[in-house]
Each structure stands twice: as C-alpha cells, then as structure tokens.
Amino acid sequence: MPSEFLSNLDPKNSEEDFKTLGTACRLNALSMIKAAGSGHIGSSFSAIDLIIASKIFYQSKSADLFFSSKGHDAPGLYSVMNALGEIPDEMMLKLRRMAGLPGHPEVGLFGIPTSTGSLGMGISKAKGFWYAKENINSRITVLLGDGELQEGQIWESLPGASRDKMGGLIAIVDGNKIQSDTWVEMTLPLGDLQKRVEGSGWRYLECDGHEYASLKKAFDEISRESSKPIFLYAHTKKSSGVSFMEDFNPEGLFYKYHSGSPGDEEYAEAAKELILKLDLELPESLFPKSPTIENALIPSSNDFLPKERNRSLIQCWAEILEEIFSSDVKFMALDADLSYDTGTYKVAQSFKSRYIQCGIAEQDMVSMAGSLALSGKVPIVHSFASFLTTRAAEQIFNNLSEHSKIVYCGFLAGILPSAPGHSHQAVSDFGIISSFPNIEIFEPACETELQLMKTFIHETDKSIYLRIGSVDLPEPAPVNSVSIGKLTTRKIGSKFAIITSGPSMTRIALEVADLMGGGLVSVFTYPTPGRQLSDDDLSNLFEYKKIVVLENHMPALGIFQNLSRASISEYLSVTRIGVCELPRNGHTDEVLNFHGMDAASIKQKLLG
Amino acid sequence: MPSEFLSNLDPKNSEEDFKTLGTACRLNALSMIKAAGSGHIGSSFSAIDLIIASKIFYQSKSADLFFSSKGHDAPGLYSVMNALGEIPDEMMLKLRRMAGLPGHPEVGLFGIPTSTGSLGMGISKAKGFWYAKENINSRITVLLGDGELQEGQIWESLPGASRDKMGGLIAIVDGNKIQSDTWVEMTLPLGDLQKRVEGSGWRYLECDGHEYASLKKAFDEISRESSKPIFLYAHTKKSSGVSFMEDFNPEGLFYKYHSGSPGDEEYAEAAKELILKLDLELPESLFPKSPTIENALIPSSNDFLPKERNRSLIQCWAEILEEIFSSDVKFMALDADLSYDTGTYKVAQSFKSRYIQCGIAEQDMVSMAGSLALSGKVPIVHSFASFLTTRAAEQIFNNLSEHSKIVYCGFLAGILPSAPGHSHQAVSDFGIISSFPNIEIFEPACETELQLMKTFIHETDKSIYLRIGSVDLPEPAPVNSVSIGKLTTRKIGSKFAIITSGPSMTRIALEVADLMGGGLVSVFTYPTPGRQLSDDDLSNLFEYKKIVVLENHMPALGIFQNLSRASISEYLSVTRIGVCELPRNGHTDEVLNFHGMDAASIKQKLLG
C-alpha cells in the first residue's frame, strides 16, 4: 500500500478511493489464503468493506476497539490492518504459520483485542470491554457473521447491554446470507431480526455493506446515539469482488468458497479480476503508479503449500452412515452447518426425513438429540469436536444422566490440523468426555477401525463419543484383524512399544518405528482408549523395555491411565475411591453408602 | 385426593373445583418440602395452576407429553400428578430421598418424559419429541420459568421450531417475575418478550396463570393453531396461595421463599391458610367429607429432617471477597443470580460498581469476564460448579487460551448435597477443568485453607478454579499450618493415610480415622489437587502400608494421578507423551516438533 494514499486516508476520501482500497485488500487476502493453503475467502471478502468503514468512519481514538467475533474473516481483517499500517508487510505471507498470523485472530498480536473463532462470544466480549473502559467515550465495535446469529449466546448477551445502557457499543453483522454449507435461509432462518433485536432493547439499523455512502450514513447515525447499544445489519455478498465466487445457485447445495484455498487456476482467475478492477478504478491523484500491482501480495508458486489430498475418514464415515441408516430406521443424523466436514451430506440427501439441519446451534442440537433418544431413536450428532464437547457440555451431561443412547461425532479432533487456531483444536474434548458417565470414547486410527462402528453402535448400551481426527492423511498399511476392546497390531518390534489412537498419531508412531529401524518398535492402536486393556494385551506389554503412550489430547484419562491402573497397586499400595458412576440422589448417608464413600465402607477397604 | 372428585375431573368442572384442587396440591407440595428439608416453594406454587390447566385443558391423549424445563417446581408437579393418579400416595413424603421422588424430575419415573433442572434446555427437548412423535396430532407442552428465559439456549431453540412449523408444540412460561435472588426486572430484564418471540416466528399469547377461565381460553386458542409453535406467557405470583410468602418488597433484596424448607412456624402458618381456604371453597357435592384435610400430607414433626446449620464456606468466602476487593481495585465479581449461594451478596452491596449481576446467563458472564481480564481487571466469576463448568465450557477454554487471569468459583461442587439431583451434582467439573490449560484447581477443606486464596489469588499467573463444596458442615478441628503446594496434616497415624480435598470428604476421612481408632490413620488434605506433590510430602507417603485417595468427582486427573505419575515410571517403564500445554498453531511439522510429538523427538525419548 502506498504511503501517500494512506496518509491521506480520511472519512472525506471519495467512494472510489475506498472501493480501490477494498479491492486491493481483497487481492492481498486472496494471496494470503493461497499461500497458507487454507482460510476463508467468502467471509473475508464480504467483510472487508465493513472493516474499512468501521475503522475509518467510526473508530478514531486509540482507546476505541474493533474486533471480529466470527474470526473466519481473519485474512480480510489482516489485509485491512496492513493497509492501515497496523501489520507489517513481511507478515503477510505468513498466514497460519507459527510466529506468523494465526488462522483466527489471537489476542495481543498487532493490537488485536481478543481471541475469536468460536462463534457467538463477540457481544459478550464487547460488553466486558465496555464495563472496563476508562474513557467514557470509547467506542467498541464487534463484527459478527450472520450464520453466527444462530448461536444462543448472541441472544443471551443482548439484554444486559440494554439494561446497562451501553452507548458506544455496536455489533455489525456481515449479512452475506451464506454460511458454511449453504444459504442461511436454507440452514436455519434468522426470522425478523429487527423485532428480535429491538425486543431486546437494542437499536436496529441496516445498510449496504459494500457501498461506502451507505456505510458512512449508518456510522454517522450511530455516532449520534449515546445511550443505546446498536445492532447494524449490513447487507453484503459472500466473496464479494470476484464474480465467479459470488455466484451461488438459489437452490445451492454447497457453497464452494466458504473455506479452503483456491486451486491454481481459480487463484489466477480471481486475482486477474481484482487486478483489472484496480487498474480501472485507480485514482491517478493518489496513486503515482499502480502500487497494488507492484506491491500487492502475489505469491510465487514456490510460496504455495503442497496439497496432500487423501481420502479422509470423513468420506468413509459418510458411507458408513448410509449403511447404518439402511440397517435400521431408528438412526437419525443431526448436523450443525458442517455437513461436508462431518460426512452427513450423503444421508442428508438419501434419508431426508431422518436428517435434521440444526444450524450453528450446538446446544439446541444436543438437547434435541436427547429427547429423540428418549423417543426410541438413535441420534447421531455431528460437529467439530472442539465446539460439540464444550459448547454443549451441559446438554451432553444431561442426556447421559438419562441413560439413553446417542452417538456424538466430534471431527477435527486433536491437535491437527493446527492451522485454524486454538478455537478449532480439540485437545480438551477427550478429558471432558472422560469425566462424564455412561459414555464410551471410540477413536479410530484408520478406515478399518472406523468400520467397527457398524457393529459397535448396535452392541453398546452406552452413548458413544466418536472422536475423529479428520485430517487428510494416507491410510496406514492395512491390518489383518481389528476388534472392539483389543489393541490393533500395526507393527511388531522387539524392544519398544508405542500405543496410540487416531490417524495422526498412528502415522507418527509408524514413522518412529521406521526411523528406529531394525524391528525394534511395535506399534499398537486402541480405538477404545477409555476401556481397560484386556489381560492378554496387558501381559504382552510387559515384554517391552519401554512403552510410549501417545495421546492426542490434554492429559486426562486415556490409555496411560489404563496402564497405571494396572500397575500402580502392586508398587505403591494405592486404592482409588471416588464417584465411579452416575451419582445417586438422596440423603447424604444413603448416597455415600451406595458409592462406597462413607466411613464404614472405607474402613472395610483399608482392612481388606 | 378423593377418587370421586378426580373421576369427575374434566375441562367442564367449575373454576372453583380447579381452585380447590390447586389449593390442595399446594398444601401437599408444602408438606413434601417440609418433610424433605429442602425444595422450591415459590416456583411450585406459581406453577401449580398452570400444570393443572395444561394437563386438564390441553393434554388429553396418552401420546401427549408435558414436562417442566425449570424442574424446580418438582414438588408442585408431583402433587398434581398425585392428584391425577399418576404418582401413588406412599411416594409423597419421600421427596428428595433415594428410591423416592427426585429433587428435580428424572426421566422414566411415573412417566416423566425427560430429566430437567439445568435451565434452558426445555424447548430444544420439546423439539426433539416433536420430531420423534408418531401421532401427528400429539401435543407437546414444556413449562419454563421466566428467569430461565435469560438462558441463550431458549433463544437458540426458537427458530428451528418455526422453520419446521411445529404445530402442537407449546412453551408455557410461569411468569412469576421473581427468580432465585430477586425480581427478574432487577436481575436481567427480559425486554419485549412478544417482539422477541414473534420475531423468531412463534405465535405469542398471554394469560392469567391463576385464573382457570383465562387459562381455558388460552388453551382453546392454542388448540385451534396447527401450524405454529406457541409461546404462552402466563402471569403468575411466586408462592401464590400463601399470603405472607407472596409478599415481596418492590425494592426487595432477597426473596426468602425461592428455595429451602420453611421453618416449623412458617410451615404451620402456611398450612393453616391453605387448609382454611380448602374448607371455605370445598364443593360439597364432590367431597363427601373434607378429604384434603384428612388425606392431605401433613407430616408429623418426626417426618422432618434434622437441620444441620453451620457456617458454610459461603459465608467465609463472602468475607474473603470483601477483603480481596479492599486490597485492590482491579477485582470484580460476576454472578449468575446466585448471590446468596455464592457469597457475592456482600460485595454487591459494598462495592456496587465492581459487581455485575449477569442473570442466568453463564456463557455471557464468562465471556464478559474474558474481556474484563484482558482490560486489566481480575474478574471473579460465580455460579454453581455444575452449571459454570459445563454451560460455559467453551467460553472458559477461550478465555484460558488468552492467558489472562480469571477466578472461576464453582459452588455445590461434588456429590453433596445429593438431594437436588443430577443437574446440581458437580462431579464432572474437576475433569473438565483438569482438561484445560492455564488453570489451577483450588479446593479448600476448611476456612483456614480457603483463607489461602487471599495470597494465592495474587501470586499465581494462571486462572484459578475455586472448587467449593458448599454444604453446611461443622468446621473440622483447626490445623496448625497450611500452605500452597503442601499437604495439610489433619491427623497423624501409623499405618494408613487418607488424602483428600474439600470439606465433605475431609469430614469423612476424619470419621474413618476415628472409626479405625488406635492412631492408625493419618489424614491429609490437599487444596491444590492438580499440582504435583512436593518431594517431601511424597517421600513421607512411602511410610504407609496403604494409602487411600478420596476424590469427590468422576475419575479424572487429581491426587491419584499425582501418585501414579510418581510411581509408575519405576514399575512399568511408561513414558507419557501428549499435549501438555496450550497447543501452538502453525504447520503440522513445526507444531508437532514444538510439542515433542514428532517422530524425531519421540525417538529421542525412547533412546534416552
């Protein structure tokens, strides 16, 4: 970006100046995503004009805060911040790299106020900033996605802001009308937003989110309101600025440009359109030369990450789901706007009446699954592991307390992929689920282990947490036999053993065995990592000089705990007493006695 | 209840008949709560007429479902179910007893459709039942509290019901206008409910929730609507039916009859008023004698549970909070409508500007705490452990990923009190928090250990989960010395050791020592159960023949894990590898390397 342009940048610049800036930022965001190999084009492009307008027309003092709640628009946000001198050029091709720019915004980096990417938290966070602000005139602006408005926390957060007369707090909605899979209206309609928002005591405005005159008018209006929080719904277009990406069939099944990096040809075509637009619109007085072409981020093909595209467990699960559905009418699938990331897209077509699109509303989805299960259905609930197990933790616990059978499928489980950021890395899901009663974790390492679900789902009475590491990895070498409750042998070695679960860690374990060479390392996978190892498997482990338990989650129960249960009692005489099943209700004494936690029971254990 | 009356009960009975029934049910609910020693009078009494009206005017087929989402009105619900012959008389004085009637409704018991008591899940559950129903004309009715409408899940659940045209699904709000602590309007106003509800595509109606003519009219209207879900706001009075319990000052600080058993004199006075009313209104034709007096549940004083009222850790925490607040202006308190159950009531008065009443909106509360912390405050967040750690799990994780310092105070932690039911028994909180990075658990066994928070809160950089077992228990014998990271010695014995945390388990451990006699058992408490034991403490433990670790939560990390870490490596050579801190972002290779989870790092550990 040319400093001449930026030093002159001011609310009085012309509509064309801002449009040029917006186009240049789109070109940069596109290039960042191409170089990173992943990112969200659609949401970045629809938001860029909103970000520019907020920062230039509304945010002026250093104490003013702007942040994106949806966070998926990070490349768009970064490109505007770069244009405004807030992020240096050298960071721009380091999107989603360590010590680079995170996939979703992270607090502290270049003044970003808070970490986002888990949807729905934005207004609450803006309210916290509002309570803490020292300058009474500080302005706090949070950008939301329209799909994000499906989250209950958004609606939970509105009344407190009107109760406390939070003037200077505004929520802008990037109303691009398409969410992860398809149209918002086809996913979960938002209803009459104006009524819903005004009913909560907020002021409601609308504007055209790509027309700077309309945006300026809205912000002028907003600046005059001092006693009410304001909700500005901006009509935008997903992927705005690149014509072939804007196109989406009204009955569209799956919108292609929500996430992911464009292919080489798509990238070239999109960049060409943006560059052409820049030339056409370039205001001569401000740009002595064509800076957006000379300085723009056009990565060379060397900057592109190699693409490893394998058949991931998602496709395999999509097929298994169809088989399960065919086997018994009681199975139903629920999905939270991630049908192509969780594999429900097949049954959504072939078993329409047994598929519920829940929108980005995980709590609602899980509680609906609860009553479906009580009605004799077996609901199979889908989302990313990080969202499903945390956003809906209480709802899952409540369902488990009802002893019904529900299958919870958590995708993107584990530390990988590591590019999207903390909000998408599910490393606490294992511990959370391990802390609940009446549920068993199933974590397949490969398609063969995943196939076990077809019988497991019928055999167990408990609920199941299907923990799926959905990274694109080559399938490990085929195994001869897999069965529930047994270690799967993947490699035989003489001295060391690695025990693990899930595809990523399995591939790493096999790599270790190769690295060590000479038939030294055995590799086992264990798809039911919360289960006690069988006596056979356990006694076989005593042959090894050293055992590594490789776990793709924060420390919690798991295979390691299995082993320690088996060994600790013989070394240091420790007996564990605790709540080992769903707690009973009643008088203190009767409940403690039931659980063996009263004094007399403990005395017996000590003497026994 | 006289069978003559019930066999005749029918929508055509007179207003007086239903009022009589309502009064009789109130008398029974009152007696149940008195006998149980705890329960919710206010919410039971405001709901009783709604429950009667729903069951008689609207629910008619066996496939129709009625359930209470708030669940706090369980005694009221049970008394109506008893009157309708759904619960036998002999259960009625077994409220909150094992093999009796649970404190909040549990699925399966006497046809109750689903377990409730965790607020906000009701409409979602009703939707699940709607999707599963086999008879297209089945009616599904869910009863909500008005305070409950503060939960985001309520608003998240509305749009899907209108999208799918859920005729026959109705949500009735018991609009008694008082929530746990005080008036709804003084806690977190609901705004213009009609606009909010209609904006989500539901039909909205209001009625008088104690006048059967008004209720009948509403249900007639509802019966004519076949294509839209209906939201019926019923104006009610908390504790309706007992005049001195209905009274509440307009500026009221704390409403006395939300929960808890009445004292003996209050019970007698309330029962007298209800009995008088029955005599006055008794329709001779239906009641050959005065059955509600002869058959009503009037427990003798022998049925009353003894009351153990000691100073619980809540009062101690309330005082510590005041001290902490005096020491530094950066401390703030946030509370979710439980100020008398969490001890914030003192600072809410003495430090008004540093107290935020969040309403029953835990997600909003936790995310607000997040941005307050980023702004230099130290927010201290309060709720029951079961709600705080599950309803707001994703928000807590998000905050932790920002490395700020927040204190989360979870009350009613552990299996006790066991009377309110599963929704209130926090036994998974420990595992959930243990699965998160950047947070340490502090679980005091007594006031002396709790006092350590005054220094700990300043010393640690991490967030803290203050796990408070807030049962009324006598303070254990005073201890000489307590310090962070050390076992507190409570009893010295020669042969056995019990290690535990929290007041309930400590009292039990001391009881064990007494039972065993002869100086056999040492008792230690450990207020930082997630921390490694010090070398000194650990080596001292090797003196004991047997050690019991007594944990008041589902199996997860804890003291036991501490010991297994210490011993397992010497017995069976197991090395644990996993994600041991907040996961980094970036390319697969760089992230795995950072965490020591790549092949080369693991090879080194195997050889090392």
Q: DSSP string of A218-242?
A: HHHHHHT--SS-EEEEEE--TTTT-
Chain A residue numbers with beta carbons less than 8 Å from the beta carbon of B97 are 586-587, 590
pLDDT for res A540: 85
DSSP 8-state secondary structure symbol assigned to residue A543: T
Select from B157, B394, B417 the Cβ nearest to the Cβ of A390.
B394
pLDDT for res B1: 41
CB contact under 8 A, B595 and A415: yes
CB contact under 8 A, A364 and B157: yes
Answer whether 0.80 is exceeded by the pTM.
Answer: yes
Q: How far is B197 from chain A (nearest CA, A)?
A: 7
B417 upstream amide cis, omega within 30 of 0? yes
Q: In which residue are the tokens 């996430």 written?
A: A259
Interface test with A, best of B471, B574, B593 (most A CBs within 10 A): B574
Residue of B nearest to A496 (CA): B606
Residue B81: closest CA among B46, B61, B54, B63: B54
Residue type, A483: S
Select from B361, B364, B546 the Cβ nearest to the Cβ of A573.
B546
Q: How far is A598 from chain B (nearest CA, A)?
A: 7
Chain B residue numbers with beta carbons less than 8 Å from the beta carbon of A591 are 98, 415-416, 418
Residue B126: closest CA among B171, B70, B172: B171
User: Rounded CA gap, A102 and B375, in Å?
Assistant: 22
Rounded average pLDDT over A497-502: 88
Whether pLDDT at A301 is above 60: no
- CA distances (Å), B510 to each of A574, B361, B499, B516, in order? 18, 39, 11, 10
Residue B575: closest CA among A500, A372, A387: A500
Rounded average pLDDT over A398-421: 91
Q: How far is B553 from chain A (nearest CA, A)?
A: 5
CB contact under 8 A, A578 and B552: yes
CB contact under 8 A, A552 and B580: no
Give percent of chain B above pLDDT 90. Answer: 59
Select from B115, B389, B432 the Cβ nearest to the Cβ of A402.
B115
B574: tokens are: 């197991």
Pick the CATH number of A3-303 from 3.40.50.10740, 3.40.50.150, 3.40.50.970, 3.40.190.170: 3.40.50.970
- CA distances (Å), A266 to each of A260, A314, A601, in order? 12, 25, 70
User: Rounded CA gap, A540 and A566, in Å?
Assistant: 13
DSSP 8-state secondary structure symbol assigned to residue B72: T
Low-confidence winner among A158-167, A585-594, B71-80, B93-102 (lowest mean pLDDT):
A585-594
User: Rounded CA gap, B469 and B402, in Å?
Assistant: 28
Rounded average pLDDT over B51-71: 92
Please write the tens of the pLDDT for every residue from B216-237.
999 999 999 889 999 999 999 9
Residue of B nearest to A417 (CA): B588
Residue of B nearest to A151 (CA): B156
Chain A residue numbers with beta carbons less than 8 Å from the beta carbon of B570 are 571
Interface test with A, best of B133, B377, B418, B563 (most A CBs within 10 A): B418
- Count of C-beta atoms within a 10 Å radius of residue B591: 22
Pick the CATH number of A313-467 from 3.40.1280.10, 3.40.50.970, 3.40.50.800, 3.10.105.10: 3.40.50.970
Number of cross-chain residue pairs from A and B with Cβ atoms under 8 Å apart: 576
Which class in CATH covers the domain with range A488-571?
alpha beta
Instruction: Identify which has the larger pLDDT, B94 or B147.
Output: B147
pLDDT for res A2: 39
Q: Pairing relation of β-strands A574-578 and B546-551?
A: parallel
Chain A residue numbers with beta carbons less than 8 Å from the beta carbon of B158 are 191
CB contact under 8 A, A576 and B103: no
- Count of C-beta atoms within a 10 Å radius of residue A459: 8
Select from B361, B430, B606 the Cβ nearest to the Cβ of A496.
B606
Residue A441 pairs in a beta bridge with: A465
CB contact under 8 A, A98 and B590: yes
Q: How far is A263 from chain B (nearest CA, A)?
A: 19
pLDDT for res B484: 93
Burial of A164-179, coded b for 16+ CB within 10 Å and e otherwise, reads eebbbbbbbbbbbbbb
Q: How far is A43 from chain B (nearest CA, A)?
A: 21
Distance from CA of residue A296 to its chain's centroid? Answer: 30
pLDDT for res A359: 95
**Alpha-carbon torsion B201, B66, A157, A188, what sign?**
negative
Rounded average pLDDT over A283-312: 46
Whether pLDDT at A64 is above 70: yes
- In A475-600, the DSSP E strands lie at 488-491, 496-500, 521-525, 546-551, 574-578
Please write the tens of the pLDDT for every residue from A449-464.
999 999 999 999 999 9
- Count of C-beta atoms within a 10 Å radius of residue B573: 13
- With residue B103 as reference, give the H or E element that holds it: none
User: Rounded CA gap, A222 and A232, in Å?
Assistant: 9
Residues of each domain in chain A carrying CATH 3.40.50.970? 3-303, 313-467
Residue B173: closest CA among A351, B318, B165, B196: B196
User: Rounded CA gap, A558 and B522, in Å?
Assistant: 31
DSSP 8-state secondary structure symbol assigned to residue A475: P
Rounded average pLDDT over B20-44: 92
CB contact under 8 A, B398 and A115: yes
DSSP 8-state secondary structure symbol assigned to residue A140: E
- CA distances (Å), B381 to each of A352, A432, B149, B349, in order? 44, 21, 21, 17
Interface test with B, best of A196, A332, A412, A532 (most B CBs within 10 A): A196
User: Rounded CA gap, A247 and A242, in Å?
Assistant: 9
Residues of each domain in chain B carrying CATH 3.40.50.970? 16-296, 311-553
Whether pLDDT at A289 is above 80: no
CB contact under 8 A, A428 and B515: no
CB contact under 8 A, A115 and B401: yes
Residue of A nearest to B365 (CA): A124
Residue type, A539: S
Whether pLDDT at B557 is above 70: no
CATH 3.40.50.970 correct for B16-296: yes
Select from B115, B387, B403 the Cβ nearest to the Cβ of A401.
B115
Select from A402, A588, A599 the Cβ nearest to the Cβ of B511.
A599
pLDDT for res A3: 38
CATH 3.40.50.970 correct for B311-553: yes
Q: pLDDT grade, residue B277 (50/70/90)?
A: confident
Residue of A nearest to B419 (CA): A586
Give percent of chain B above pLDDT 70. Answer: 87
Task: Name the burial class of residue B300, with classes exposed (0-12), middle (13-18) and buried (19+) by CB atoms within 10 angstroms of its CB.
Answer: exposed
A478 upstream amide cis, omega within 30 of 0? no
Chain A residue numbers with beta carbons less than 8 Å from the beta carbon of B415 are 579, 583, 591-592, 595, 597
Chain B residue numbers with beta carbons less than 8 Å from the beta carbon of A127 are 364, 368, 371
CB contact under 8 A, B555 and A576: yes
Q: pLDDT grade, residue B588 (50/70/90)?
A: low
Chain B residue numbers with beta carbons less than 8 Å from the beta carbon of A532 are none
DSSP 8-state secondary structure symbol assigned to residue A374: H
User: Rounded CA gap, A8 and A243, in Å?
Assistant: 30
Mean pLDDT, all residues of chain A: 86
- With residue A397 as reference, give the H or E element that holds it: helix A393-400
User: Rounded CA gap, A326 and A76, in Å?
Assistant: 44
User: Rounded CA gap, B313 and B321, in Å?
Assistant: 12
